[in-house]
Structure 1
């Protein structure tokens, strides 16, 4: 009898759990006078869900929806419908979530919603679209990443290097062999498995008709109920000393990225102390950061130098991060934009030395207060549009926190300079780092680094004596680079498999 009751309770609990995950979640940002309507459909699937040997399956599936057709309309017909409305459909795919984004003026909301929802609920899965989208991803690897964008190549390779043996290792856009192994049937099966009611959040912003919410609930109830099991994430492998990945490429300049995992994200209170430290050290695309001031501002060695405490993708031509790329595991990184090959040794020394100074000395009270004030105001600019604000709201729910921008306003005023400096010492380091460089004659660079030979630089224009004096220290700064911690890989092998 007791066993029967236990089984009954288990069945009831299971049914309750399914019911909890059966209705699509909707995130609303209603602004009755705002004429632009934004849809953000977040699917909790990313490259961590790609089967081994078919890396890129999630990305290809998202493209088949956002850049495909519906049961009623071909891809070309969809584009022809959207054009006169000045409407657009975009997409993002990352490690843990993917997003399909739509924007339209409310004058066309009814017709647009029908197409937008059909792309997700009734995809065409056309063979021609499949080939076109697969070619798009393959060309991104071969022609864009490997051939035309050394900086992005270095940043993407760094993430894979940091997360070797971890679900984050596979790039979100896939690999050449992985993509070539994917069939249209694979895409259909992936869609069937992951596009369920409990796995989707539908975000909507603007002056939409309130009746649309019920229609969304009704339409998306056609998806299967439930939610796939979340992929477990092990701790990243420990980094021992300075570990190097040198990507051999015929290039006139060297792109450098380095970093290491950190065990916190936006849901942890220490994240907000690190935000201040990071902004002081290398705020993206500003001259506030020490790295930017020292490497570009004082010495003119490259275009920019920045640091990050979470994965960062710039939103178009802005200086702000795109929303909807949340990750449970985050990492600290430094992005050194291309420097002349003759200065690559000096600049790496300088960047790591500046990191050591930050870890050992922290921020002064004055620097802490000015950086905090800047961040309190700058963060408000991240949500200038309802589209971006909606994205940040959805991310906040994903992390299980209050609205991120409000949380910044709440947490930063409570911090002291001691809080920030303690967080720096706890989470940042200058000794155990993974370093990626895209460069010519990688073997020569390796020998220079291992031997710790002096790396003096020269200037076209005069600089102050104080800079020249500091240069003498930097050019001799010892990097603990050991031969056994180097890998040299030809560029054509990166993201091949």
Structure 2
């Protein structure tokens, strides 16, 4: 049995959330041709989500970042009658907000307002989508914002996100997912305001959206939003761009980004052939929760790497695209993808322990694939997840987002699916799904570190990599370390690359 931290706090919080939902009036879900709603008549807040089937995969060649910039011209721009600063002044006394979130395949315009101000707020929200101001000053400000996010933040001072984006670029080289959602340095420089106008006219169309409303909105409001958009957006279909299969990884492919860093960030992963629409998603969800639940000590990696050894702040795994919502432990909704990937995130480790940390994570992945879960760990993880998953939808806005994601995947509501499917699973179901979808040999490793050449030499030489601890550890840990320090990683010597950080995300690869 693997070490486990007490789960009482998580289970209690989830139980309270579930109890709160049960005590309040049940959700009044509704649907229209292009809308999904979740009415909570007693709520004073109304949340709006308009999901457009447009993402960074729709950026034209040489203009990577166009989708993200167009979204910002809506979420951080003005209307034909209100300049951006006037709009912000109007929303402020209402404690209202409007923003835009873009990803690979969808872009979501979100709004939040007290129901007393819904009518004037909706008029602004609607105008931002239908007729953005496209002010040249807003364009320059938003383009600079994206460029700085790539050049200064991603390359400069966010090594964790840099490692994740480097892994994405490695896994999806030559694929529409390759470029960062934010765009590339050269792509953003090339975009003009006319490009934004044209992209908005082509992608923000009546056949390309799903409207969502949640909270205390009046009866008939969702149908009104749906009709407003369908009647006033330009004609256009919603057929998504075709996606080729990701390239085949051969052995362990290594991408090392060299930059001055105080610690080494590591991301590991590979594409997987399933989404929430697939039956195997749910047993694999249990396996992933056991292995690396995000920011909890329910995960094996968190226990053995941080808890037992103090290597870093955290170590997690994922079976789909995961972007943390603010300072929470939960993912943001409305970032669905037709093609997903498995990943391990090793948060920055002191340079002298980086090789050991990589070896330990890879070894634990192999053990997961080959040994699976024990009956005891399966039951404990399943019970944890049945409760913890209730926190996915602890707010009206999050529930709305998950309802809309179900429309994307043409699947059931995720939390309902978990509640219905997990009690029927067996440990054999989970271990069989692990063997079908996870692997430890053909995968990508992205590393952000200083002295990259020296680091790569040590990795490829395969020499022992004993760790250095700040506190004493037990004899059992030291005995296991003796195996880990010599764990062989089957690197593909022909697919090892060192890239200076200044060259990352200037453009996409040639394929």
Q: Which residue number corresponds to residue 10 of structure 1?
A: none
Per-residue deviation at 1:24?
A: 6.5
Partner SS state of residue 336, structure 1 = strand
TM-score norm. by structure 2 comes to 0.92
Per-residue deviation at 1:459?
A: 2.0
Moved more, 452-461 or 126-135: 452-461
Per-residue deviation at 1:280?
A: 0.4
Aligned length: 475
The partner residue of 1:475 within 459, 468, 485 is 485
Matches within 5 A, 1:318-357: 318-357=328-367
Matches within 5 A, 1:243-282: 243-282=253-292
Per-residue deviation at 1:402?
A: 1.3
Q: Which residue number corresponds to residue 70 of structure 1?
A: 79
Over the residues paired in the alignment, what is the CA RMSD in angstroms? Answer: 1.1
1:208 equivalenced with 2:217 (yes/no): yes
1:110 equivalenced with 2:119 (yes/no): yes
Q: Which residue number corresponds to residue 245 of structure 2?
A: 235
Write the distance in 1 (CA, Å) between the matches of 2:147 and 2:350. Answer: 29
* Structure 1: gaps of 5 or more residues: 1-22
The partner residue of 1:101 within 103, 106, 110 is 110
* Structure 2: gaps of 5 or more residues: 1-31
Q: Which residue number corresponds to residue 303 of structure 2?
A: 293
Matches within 5 A, 1:115-130: 115-130=124-139
Q: Deviations over 1:197-230 (max 9, x none)?
A: 1101110011112243353244321112331432
* 8 Å contact from structure 2 (residues 269, 443) kept in 1: yes
* 8 Å contact from structure 1 (residues 48, 96) kept in 2: yes
* 8 Å contact from structure 2 (residues 265, 346) kept in 1: yes
Write the distance in 2 (CA, Å) between the matches of 1:406 and 1:465. Answer: 45
Q: Which residue number corresponds to residue 28 of structure 1?
A: 37
* 8 Å contact from structure 1 (residues 24, 202) kept in 2: no
Q: Deviations over 1:68-92 (max 9, x none)?
A: 0000000000000000111011221
Q: Which residue number corresponds to residue 172 of structure 1?
A: 181
Partner SS state of residue 435, structure 1 = strand
Partner SS state of residue 244, structure 1 = strand
Q: Deviations over 1:328-371 (max 9, x none)?
A: 00000000000000111110000000001101100000100110
* 8 Å contact from structure 1 (residues 262, 330) kept in 2: yes
1:302 equivalenced with 2:297 (yes/no): no
Q: Which residue number corresponds to residue 428 of structure 2?
A: 418
Moved more, 203-212 or 396-405: 203-212
Per-residue deviation at 1:163?
A: 0.8
Matches within 5 A, 1:424-463: 424-463=434-473
The partner residue of 2:57 within 14, 35, 48 is 48
Partner SS state of residue 79, structure 2 = coil
Write the distance in 1 (CA, Å) between the matches of 2:222 and 2:410. Answer: 23
Q: Deviations over 1:261-294 (max 9, x none)?
A: 0000000000101001000000000011111111
Write the distance in 1 (CA, Å) between the matches of 2:128 and 2:312. Answer: 44
Write the distance in 2 (CA, Å) between the matches of 1:57 and 1:435. Answer: 29
